[in-house]
Each structure stands twice: as C-alpha cells, then as structure tokens.
Structure 1
Amino acid sequence: MDDKSGIGGDWVAAFAQPPGSIRIAGTDLPETARLRARGEFDHDNCDLVPAVVTEAIVTGHTRIILDLAEVTFIDAATVKALMAAGDLAASAGATVRLENAAGMVARVLAITGVPHAVTFAGRPL
C-alpha cells in the first residue's frame, strides 16, 4: 500500500459527499411548491437554487418551500444564491420559505442573517 497513513481509497469513498441536488417534491396546495434539497451546495452548484425556484414560479407557484433537511453543507455562494432566489420570488410576487435547516447549515444561515424558519422575500426580516 503506497498510502503511508494506512488509509486507502475506501476511506475516501466512504466520506465523499454527493453534489447537491434539488427536486420539486410536490405541492401542498395548488399555489405551493415543496422543493427538497440534498447533499452539499457550494460555488460549483449553488446556481441550482435560483434555477429550481424559477422553475417553480414559471409553473405557477407563488409559495415555495425549500426543505433543507438533507443538506449537509452550504457556503457563502449558496447563501448568496438563496438570497437571489428570494429576490426572484419577490419580483414575481412569490415567497420562499426555508425549512428544516439543521446542524452546520442552520448555523451558517443564522450567522449570515438568513432566516431559515420564516418567509422571506430576498432580505432577512
């Protein structure tokens, strides 16, 4: 084994996180879209956030709920993307609500002033 630490490729595979993804999981009411995000979001994939929010708005939803329960990491670019998604929603007369943020994700949202349990329209309330 060339790895002097004794840690092989299995360790890397076990701890590698999949890139983030978001899907429209359904609707509670005709005007509501529930989006489920999972995995890690950073500068490489955070553009998915405003893109999926835009998709929900284009299909007629004015109340968008973004469930972050399965999100394991976000960075500053993702915070900016969340704010951009809120601005997009506000300009279309819609709202975005972040739900179920936990752990590090909830901490980043709190530190940056992004409310994760209240409706916002692009700006912290």
Structure 2
Amino acid sequence: MDRGMVGSANRGRLQVEVWTEGGSEVVRPAGELDHHTADLLSGPLDEALAKGRSRLVVDCSRLEFCDSTGLNVLLGARLKAEAAGGGVHLAGMLPVVARVLEITGAEAVFTLHETVEDALAP
C-alpha cells in the first residue's frame, strides 16, 4: 500500500492527514469537525480536486464530532468531485457522525464503506 504522506494539518481539535492511494486521495480527519475547524478539511479536499483527483476517500474512523458546517464541507466536496467525474466515499464512520448523516438525509448522497480498504477496493 503506497501511503506517501501528502500533507497534514492541525488546529487543536482537528488533525487532518492526506495521502494518495492509487487513483484516490485519502483524507483522514481526526477530532472535531465544526465551524472553527472546517477549513482544515475543506482545504485538502479542494487541493485534491485542483490536482485532478476527483475520487476522494474520507476516512471518518477518527472523526468524533461533525456539525452542520462540517457536513456542508463534505457535501460541497461531493458536488465538486461529481462535477469532475468522481465522487466522495466516506469510510469507517463512528456512530455519532453516522447519526448526523442519518438525521439530515445526507447518507443517501454519499457512498459509504465500512473501512478505507473497502472504499479503495476496485
């Protein structure tokens, strides 16, 4: 598995790791995704799309909280990725984040996977 780290960011309550895996850009936010930290996730997602990576895998296994601002970051990335011929795949969601997607109906517009490995499988 090629996990050459592309970059990472940290602002106290949220850390974001990014790497390229085959034809996908994998983004792993860890901590709390909210109004104060959303740009730490939107930046790497936008950068991946700007580099022509339209298949984005977001590893949510370490995402402990997501508010409406965080959800809007994911939804915005999905629209941009789909416009570029790709999509956003969410993997390994903790129940608290899965519940946000469920009650908002957003789970219906994402491709969901149990693990990052499942999301990266052909």
Aligned partner of 1:13 in structure 2 is none
TM-score (norm 1): 0.70
Give identity over the alignment, percent.
30
Partner residue of 2:54? Answer: 62
Query: What does 1:1-125 align with in structure 2 at a 5 Å threshold?
Result: 18-27=12-21, 29=22, 31-115=23-107, 118-119=110-111
SS at match of 2:107: coil
More helix by share: 2
TM-score, normalised by the number of residues in structure 2:
0.72
Return the offset for 1:93: 2.2
CA displacement, residues 95-117 of structure 1 (integer Å, 9 cap, x when unaligned): 11111111211111111112289
Could you tell me whether the CA contact under 8 Å between 1:23 and 1:35 is conserved in 2? yes
Change (3 A) 1:117 1:92: closer
Higher strand share: 2
The alpha-carbon deviation at position 74 of structure 1 amounts to 0.8
The whole-number CA distance in structure 2 between the counterparts of 1:54 and 1:34 is 13
Q: Deviations over 1:66-111 (max 9, x none)?
A: 0000011111111111111111212222211111111211111111
Query: What is the RMSD computed on CA atoms of the aligned residues?
Result: 2.1
Which aligned runs of 4 or more in structure 1 are off by greater than 6 angstroms? none
Structure 2: which 5+ residue stretches go unaligned? 1-11, 113-122
* 8 A Cα contact 1:98 1:115, kept in partner: no
